[in-house]
């Protein structure tokens, strides 16, 4: 479609109603070659300095600031002091010139200058004598000027108000030594792949390389350095394909669209700007806020009410960044949210599972792709009744796991697969027909140990406190007509399993929250349990794996918290968003905030939520200033008259101010400040990376 409307000519004018539309004007002469792409923008981006900085600082073009705020004199005081110093110097010079201070300042002149150089008939002549006398006066004037300049801080006035007006803007790209130029691919040259380096440098200069290509080829080169790939294979691939070498299995080199600002050299995505506020450390004030896999590796929990911007300003940029990392071969990402939540277009993902949508191309494996009945039972029990377990951190779902294992093991031994949702529901309900068929199959195959498991399940079904009925009720939430074609175990569909996290895959799972809220929470727990189990057994842990849960209501369980605690060692992390911490059981709130290294409180949190954040962020030593005004009592008649005149002029009684400075320990952010002092569109965020470096709570403008 042309930019001016359907069939519209350039300029926005419409064609005559009875005539054909005017074709657009050609952009070049017939037969002329297309313009050569310009790679200057890519080269500028690549060569922009990215200095090392504290966790969370957007490093692209960052200019480091001092760790402590320098003491700055107020502008009014500085300018008035400079003016008064100038007037004092002028007064002193006038008094010297007019002789009011005597002639003592000529004593050094008389001691230094020879007698033959003095007077009108000196050997120097009239002109020379004038120069000598005026030069001495100029020297004295300069001495007075230097003294009053130091007294009036003229140097600081120049640096703050005059010099910036004459300073030229520094170019973003500094001149680099060819040995340090990233566009020259010197590591490849040093390893002997000179031809590959020349090809990549030419592709970058010609504008055929993108940031994703650069990151992807660097990732492939890391594989060569670690020995996973051979140098010859890498070089031949680069010489053949250039910037398109080592493509992602999808064949994509970029996302269909980007909403956030990304820097794939550092791996950061910019979420906003740190506010220039006294509550933020001076080194962070006014800098961009960037998150990267090293920070997400400690997991992130964001709490804020509906409409505070969790999805649009936090989840969507992070999902977009992780998808770019997946295209570069660095990460595997699974994004879970409600259908239509705005988690990015379907074209930005390799696999889109739309549970409850009959047009979904992919299905979800209920058992996580495992062949071990005990492992499948543990994951499924966490999904079904994990929220019903005792919320204290030491509790678990072992009884439910045992019940499921007593059924899944015999069923797989007989049928070679795990039961479908209707079959599992019948077994948990104790339907006589499926039990008899399962028993007969085990007897025919001689599975005595599994027969004992089945007998134990039959004995427990009639006893009080059996959890089989609760499990059957939860499975019934999935045994609905909307899910009839999902969770198939016969092989007729294409189930997605989180065992695929060994590859740089991009997955989006849409949950059917409308009309199936309980089932959606159960499926979210299932995905979290499968994710924790899958990343723990990955062979290649150099690939960062991340699970993004747009709404973690009902997902945080004792086992889920333990799984989050284990993710850091497996180079994985999760991003959880909550409307309020009340969606998490009270005994689990502290462990959840302790298990996640990055914690975010968005605008609008309640004071009760703010209290939990205030406790986990702790206290700090700060300087408190107590100011006391004491009224001055005059004892003499003259003093009383002066005080009366001062009262008439100022309207206040004369007072003496006493200032007491002391060190006190106070909360970094109090519950009241978090609930009422965070502006709309802002958040307070603390960060910790996988190396243990951390940033204190920062007030961030998510719209900047």
Mention every residue, 6+ apart, whose C-beta is less than 8 A from residue 316.
259, 260, 342, 343, 344
Separation CA 329–CA 248 (nearest Å): 7
CA distances from 646 to 635, 636, 643, 653, 658 (A): 16, 15, 5, 8, 20
| Top-ranked range on mean pLDDT: pick from 182-196, 317-331, 461-475, 532-546 | 317-331
In this structure, the dihedral spanned by the alpha carbons of residues 173, 175, 179 and 182, taken in order and rounded to 10 degrees, is 10
Structure confidence at residue 386 as a pLDDT band (50, 70, 90): confident
Which position has the token pair 């349990």? 529
Q: Percent of the chain scored above 90 by pLDDT? A: 50
325 pLDDT tier (thresholds 50, 70, 90): very high
Band of pLDDT at residue 611, cut at 50, 70 and 90: very high
Residue 136 has pLDDT above 90, yes or no: no
Q: What does the pLDDT average to over 255-280?
A: 93
Per-residue b/e over 575-602, b at no fewer than 16 CB within 10 Å?
Answer: bbbbbbbebbbeebbebbbebbbbbbbb
> Pick the residue with more confidence: 138 or 109?
138
5 or 579: which leads in pLDDT: 579
pLDDT, one tens digit per residue, over 692-704 is 999 999 999 998 6
Question: What band does 176 get if pLDDT is binned at 50, 70 and 90?
Answer: low
Average pLDDT of the chain, as a whole number: 85
Res 123 pLDDT > 60: no
pLDDT at 635: 80
Q: What is the pLDDT of residue 15?
A: 37
Quote the pLDDT of residue 23: 52
Q: Is the pLDDT of residue 120 over 60?
A: no
Q: Which residue has the higher pLDDT, 53 or 170?
A: 53
Query: With 60 as the cut, is the pLDDT of residue 174 above it?
Result: no
Query: Residue 629 has what pLDDT?
Result: 78
When pLDDT is averaged across residues 526-551 and rounded to a whole number, the result is: 92
Rounded-to-integer distance, Cα 85 and Cα 54, Å: 42
Statement: residue 85 has pLDDT above 80: yes
Q: How far apart are CA 181 and CA 324, in angstroms?
A: 24
**In the predicted model, is pLDDT for residue 8 greater than 80?**
no
Q: What are the strands, taking DSSP E only, across 355-451?
A: 363-364
- Helix, strand or coil, per DSSP, at residue 252: coil
* Residue 168 buriedness (CB in 10 A; 0-12 / 13-18 / 19+): exposed
Query: In the prediction, which pLDDT does 292 show?
Result: 95
Q: Within 13 A of 681's CA, how many CA atoms are on the CB side? A: 8
Taking the C-alpha atoms of residue 693 and residue 543, their distance in angstroms, rounded to an integer, is: 21
**pLDDT attached to residue 32:** 37
Per-residue pLDDT for 13 more than 50?
no
Give CA separation, 318 vs 312, 337, 597, in Å: 10, 14, 16
- β-pair type (598-602, 682-688): antiparallel
Highest mean pLDDT among 165-174, 315-324, 397-406, 435-444: 315-324
DSSP H or E run through 698: strand 694-701
- Contact indicator for 558, 392 with CB cutoff of 8 Å: yes
Give the distance from CA 448 to its chain's centroid.
55
Please check the confidence at residue 645 and state whether its pLDDT lies above 80: no
Instruction: Quote the pLDDT of residue 214.
Output: 94
Complete DSSP assignment for 131-162? HHHHHHHHHHHHHHHHHHHHHHTHHHHIIIII
Mean pLDDT value across residues 399-409: 91
pLDDT of residue 2: 35
Region 442-452 average pLDDT: 85
| Predicted local distance difference test score (pLDDT) of residue 169 | 59
pLDDT at 110 over 80: no
Query: For a pLDDT cut of 70, what percent of the chain falls above it?
Result: 89
Give this prediction's pTM. Answer: 0.82
Instruction: Tell me what pLDDT residue 173 has.
Output: 46
| pLDDT score, position 468 | 87
Instruction: State the pLDDT confidence band at 383, using cuts at 50, 70 and 90.
Output: very high
pLDDT at 28 exceeding the cut of 50: no
* pLDDT tens for each residue of 285-295: 999 999 999 99
Pick the range with the lowest mean pLDDT from 416-420, 615-619, 621-625.
621-625
């Amino acid at each position: 479609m042309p930019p001016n409307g359907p069939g519209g000519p350039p300029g926005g004018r419409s064609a005559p109603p009875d005539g054909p539309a005017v074709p657009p004007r050609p952009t070049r002469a017939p037969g002329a070659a297309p313009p050569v792409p310009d790679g200057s923008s890519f080269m500028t981006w690549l060569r922009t300095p990215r200095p090392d900085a504290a966790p969370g600082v957007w490093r692209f073009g960052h200019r480091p600031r001092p760790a402590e705020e320098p003491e700055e004199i107020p502008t009014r005081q500085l300018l008035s002091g400079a003016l008064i110093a100038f007037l004092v110097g002028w007064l002193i010079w006038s008094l010297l010139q007019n002789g009011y201070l005597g002639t003592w300042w000529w004593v050094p002149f008389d001691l230094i200058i020879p007698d033959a150089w003095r007077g009108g008939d000196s050997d120097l002549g009239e002109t020379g004598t004038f120069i000598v006398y005026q030069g001495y006066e100029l020297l004295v004037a300069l001495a007075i000027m230097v003294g009053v300049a130091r007294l009036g801080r003229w140097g600081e006035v120049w640096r703050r108000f005059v010099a910036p007006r004459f300073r030229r803007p520094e170019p973003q790209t500094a001149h680099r030594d060819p040995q340090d130029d990233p566009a020259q691919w010197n590591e490849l040259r040093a390893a002997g792949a000179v031809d590959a380096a020349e090809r990549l440098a030419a592709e970058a200069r010609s504008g055929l390389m993108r940031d994703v290509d650069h990151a992807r080829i660097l990732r492939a080169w890391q594989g060569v350095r670690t020995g996973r790939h051979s140098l010859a294979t890498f070089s031949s691939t680069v010489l053949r394909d250039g910037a398109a070498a080592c493509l992602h299995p999808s064949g994509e080199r970029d996302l269909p669209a980007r909403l956030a600002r990304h820097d794939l050299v550092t791996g950061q995505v910019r979420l906003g700007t740190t506010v220039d506020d006294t509550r933020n450390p001076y080194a962070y004030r006014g800098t961009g806020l960037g998150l990267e896999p090293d920070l997400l590796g400690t997991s992130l929990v964001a709490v804020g009410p509906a409409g505070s911007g969790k999805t649009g300003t936090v989840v969507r940029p992070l999902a977009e960044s992780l998808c770019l990392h997946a295209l570069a071969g660095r990460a595997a990402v699974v994004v879970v949210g409600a259908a239509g939540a705005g988690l990015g277009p379907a074209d930005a993902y390799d696999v889109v599972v739309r549970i409850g949508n009959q047009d979904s191309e992919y299905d979800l494996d209920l058992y996580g792709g495992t062949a071990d009945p005990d492992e499948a039972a543990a994951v499924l029990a966490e999904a079904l009744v994990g929220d019903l377990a005792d919320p204290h951190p030491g509790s678990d779902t072992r009884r439910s796991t045992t019940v499921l294992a007593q059924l899944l093991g015999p069923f797989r031994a007989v049928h070679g697969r795990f039961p479908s949702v209707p079959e599992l529901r019948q077994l948990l309900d104790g339907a006589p027909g499926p039990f008899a068929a399962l028993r007969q199959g085990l007897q025919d195959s001689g599975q005595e140990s599994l027969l004992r498991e089945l007998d134990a399940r039959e004995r427990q079904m009639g006893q009080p406190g059996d959890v089989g009925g609760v499990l059957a009720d939860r499975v019934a939430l999935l045994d609905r007509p909307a899910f009839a074609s999902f969770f198939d175990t016969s092989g007729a569909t294409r189930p997605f399993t989180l065992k695929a996290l060994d590859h740089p895959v991009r997955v989006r799972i849409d949950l059917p929250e409308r009309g199936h809220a309980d089932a959606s929470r159960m499926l979210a727990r299932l995905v979290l349990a499968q994710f924790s189990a899958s990343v723990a057994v990955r062979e290649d842990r150099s690939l960062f794996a991340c699970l993004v849960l747009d709404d973690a209501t009902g997902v945080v369980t004792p086992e889920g918290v333990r799984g989050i605690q284990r993710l850091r060692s497996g180079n994985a992390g999760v991003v959880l968003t909550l409307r309020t911490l009340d969606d998490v059981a009270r005994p689990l709130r502290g462990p959840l905030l302790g298990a996640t290294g990055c914690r975010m409180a968005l605008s609008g949190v309640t004071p009760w939520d703010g209290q939990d954040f205030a406790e986990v962020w702790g206290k700090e030593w700060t300087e408190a200033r107590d100011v006391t005004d004491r009224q001055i009592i005059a004892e003499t008649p003259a003093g009383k008259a002066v005080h009366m005149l001062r009262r008439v002029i100022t309207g206040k009684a004369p007072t003496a101010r006493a200032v007491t400075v002391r060190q006190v320990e106070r909360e970094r952010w109090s519950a009241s400040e978090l609930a009422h002092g965070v502006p709309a569109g802002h958040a307070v965020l603390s960060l910790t990376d996988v190396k243990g470096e951390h940033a204190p709570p920062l007030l961030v403008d998510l719209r900047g």
